Amino acid sequence: MTTSDIRVCADWRAHHDRPVYTLGDTCPACGGDAVQSSPARYNPEDPYGEYRRRAKRRAGRD
């Protein structure tokens, strides 16, 4: 088990006073979605996704 396995309630700010951590897919407190607590999961994906969309759009236009 690594720290990257830890997830946090996606909407903890709306439902809880503090981040609710879990190892499962859902928040044990509110039953909502739990997301990876590490932003590293998202940071690499967004730029690449944007890059792919731009490249695809550009290629389609050409």
Q: Which residues bind Zn ion (CB under 5 A)?
A: 9, 15, 20, 27, 29-30, 32
Q: What is the DSSP string of the chain?
A: --GGG-EEETTHHHH-SS--EESSSB-TTT--BEEES-GGGTTTHHHHHHHHHHHHHHHHH-
Which is nearer to Zn ion, 17 or 46 (by Cβ)?
17
Which is nearer to Zn ion, 17 or 62 (by Cβ)?
17
Which is nearer to Zn ion, 1 or 14 (by Cβ)?
14
Closest separation in Å from C-beta 38 to Zn ion: 18
